[in-house]
Chain A
Amino acid sequence: MMSKRVPFAPSLPRLSRPPAAALVCLGLFLLCCLLVPRFATYGNLENVLRVGAILCIVACGQAIVIILGGIEFSFGASAALASVVTVMVLPAVGPVAGLVAGAASVIGIGLVNGWLVGRMVLPPVIVTLGTLMMASGAASWLVGGLPLDAPPSAVFSWPARGRVLGVPVPILAAVLACTVLHVLLAHGRIGRLWYHVGANPLAARLAGLDAARITLLGYATAGAFCAVGAIILTSRVASGQPALAPNLPFETIAACAIGGLPLAGGRGHVLQVVFGVLIVAMLNNAVVLINLPVAWQLVLLGLAVLAAVGLQRDWAVLKRLAGRSR
């Protein structure tokens, strides 16, 4: 047979090839510097990073779920529930324990999602949509539908407004989150197992892996990332808000998709998340700076997602065609 020749396999590990999103990110940055007034100022860039930080932390969690071949819709609602829980228990237990209680509720929802997807083998879209509605309803019910203000406290506002060595805490937290995610994915045994389950859940089971437990741990870890984001969000708004971040899950999915994580699962690198988040944050910032209505953020984001996913698909199609014609 002529087709005996095996196609060329990349000998470089995935890490050493920069993700395509990096180029897009750089291009967008230069474009914004040139065209958007007041973009390239220290204050604005810090603001971009500060706003992007929360998105980045939660997107790290979303990335785990996407690598597992799933999707997480419940992040926004669970962050809202966390803010409500925090502010409600705050007078009794103090700011630190309050934030921990809020965080625990997010991780709890992650565990429920992981159990339903892993052990009960239910589709992630339905499971996380269900917990989204339940968490959102519960948060609304707990405070009677209205935001509940937290008493002012220096400790309570530190996660959102504090600085360490002059660097805002959210940015530090985002860097830490990316580092943790990278260590988990590239060096952790559990991270490796997430890739296996995401790439082929049936093969993972037949190879002797406990796919249900691996999935459960994945959703719980994703919940932990979201919990950190929820703490910073709650601290920033200093109140319990049942409608805190309704777009959070969509923005994180968008960031992952724009960064180049295939939603089919089994692949993904932390740098893809980082660049995806930076692109989303810069887009949002540029919309504000050029005085477009804020609603345009969502429109642009949607366009960017479609473009990113469309381009990835086209690349795959082109590559396959090139392989066939050989």
Chain B
Amino acid sequence: MSFSDEALVATGIAKTYGATCALRDARLTLRRGRVHALLGENGAGKSTLVKILVGAVTPDAGRVEIGGAAASLGSVPQAIRAGIVPIHQHLSLFPELSVHENLSAFALADGGLWARRRLVDAARAKAWLADVGLAVDLAAPLGSLSLGERQLVEVARALSLDCRVLVLDEPTAALNAGEAERLFTVVRRLCAAGTAALFISHRFDEIEALADDISVLRDGRTVIDAAPVGRHSRYELTHAMLGAGVEAAVPRPAHRAEPVLVGRGFGGARDGGTSITVHAGEIVGLAGLIGSGALELAAWLAGAASGAGALTIAGEPIEPGNRARAAALGIAYVPADRHAEGLFAALSARRNVSVAALGGLARFGWLRRAAEAERVDPLLRRLKLHPALPDGEATTFSGGNQQKLLIGRCLALPGLKAMVLLEPTRGVDVAARAVIHDAIRDAAASGVAVLVATSDLDELMVLAHRYLIVREGALAAELPRAAPRTVLLSALSGSLAA
């Protein structure tokens, strides 16, 4: 390859947020005229890398070159001026304004506060629309267009700039197959004219249809760097995303007992929906890649999300989405997003744990603090909370210790019958992970039904007694504990075993 082929080269990119390291050593080389697909699981650092490229986040270390010259991407406008144009998953257009006004957004943004609202020349705007194959009225309000057409307007707007790199962050998430194909045609045409494209998607079909090269991120590092499409099989790519197995402790065999958590008909009418049963004392691993619907299914089972279907907890039917009732029946829940959905950041560690058990700790509305400490502190000791300060505010603990608080909250739930854990060790260090895994195994051994939904294959393999594989919002397969990694990987990616 000649030097001038490289539209963008990023090397040694690192970024740390507080205690979590999002990127360690990421590399990315985008070539002119080629579509480059970026793959990676949740937490691999993909979105951080994209944010760095479009100027929304400043990296701690690393170097970005555009067209062979070092570039500083301090802000989004700066990156756009350097020719890196993002096309977002959530459209960054203005539905109330006309197509013409939307196409003029960059020109208006450059105009300063007191500039006259001047639209770009209509002939030029029409030419951009023609380039993306859109034949819509310039005066039409953007809101009257379909989602696919709006995405194309966004691409057309990118043409108003000297666009060297088009960053497509899951552009097809909201599109149907026809709309997606139309977008791909436009992207291919733009690339033929010398633009480079970075394409983020979770769908192998799309990647194989559109991309020329593939890179894979795992744990903040580039593990496959710009391999041509076709060099690696889907299975190998999935393997690269999820990592090789390290710890392989054999879980205790489950003594199958009465069903505790029973959900039927999740996801509505199609084939009567998905049904799931978790028995007392077993750990069921619910596995699926991002976007597969595994997390949604698990949240629904915990009563945390409403939706069609029938839920039964220990023989008692409950209405989906009634989380308070599910908790009263002994279903503990760890949500996937620790900060937004789980942690009470302003409250102490002890209070974060005791919240689910307050009913039993109060007499006539008067909280017995001694009883609270007596119930919670042994749990915190068992989970090795560090530093061992139950009165410390939750924000002052590291991610792994914050996660221990959520696990502790589960264990403190009175009448605990089942635990539904979403990504229980995401962004958690190795030591905390081992403690959390031990706590989960102990709970199961004492007869609690456990459902672990995660995209972390290593975690599943050291915990689960059986695996349920979710693809496209439905159960695709059930595999026994003995299933080898290769079988799991191919079940996850939806291809035949290699």
Binding site for B on A (CB under 8 A): 1, 3-4, 6-13, 187-190, 192-193, 195-196, 198-200, 202-210, 264-267
Contacts and interface: CB of A to CB of B under 8 A. Distances in A.
A8 B396 contact: yes
Given A192-B358, A196-B355, A200-B343, A209 B324 contact: yes
Contacts of A11: 389, 391-392
Q: Which 5 A-B pairs have the closest CB atoms?
A: A208-B327, A9-B392, A266-B346, A189-B362, A199-B344
A33 B485 CA distance: 78
B347 A9 contact: no
Contact of B19 (A3, A9, A198, A203): A3
Nearest to A183: B366
Contact of B393 (A9, A198, A206): A9
A200 B345 contact: yes
A1 B397 contact: no
A208 B328 contact: yes
B365 A188 contact: yes
A205 B304 CA distance: 8
B323 interface: yes
A189 B364 CA distance: 9
A282 to B, nearest CB: 29
Contacts of A12: 391
Given A195-B351, A196-B344, A208-B356, A187 B367 contact: yes
Contacts, number: 107
Interface size class of B (residues with CB under 8 A): 35 or more
A66 to B, nearest CB: 13
A265 B326 CA distance: 27
Nearest to A67: B346
A199 B327 contact: no
A206 B367 contact: no
Given A9-B392, A203-B340, A265-B346, 9 more contacts: A9-B393, A10-B392, A10-B393, A188-B365, A189-B366, A195-B351, A203-B335, A206-B342, A208-B324
A188 B391 contact: no
A195 B389 contact: no
Contacts of A207: 327, 333, 355-356, 409
B355 A206 contact: no
A189 B367 contact: yes
Contacts of A187: 366-367, 369
Nearest to A211: B324
Given A200-B343, A207-B327, A7 B367 contact: no
Interface in B306-346: 323-324, 326-328, 333, 335, 340-346
Given A6-B401, A11-B391, A12-B391, A203 B358 contact: no
Contacts of B361: 189
Nearest to B346: A266
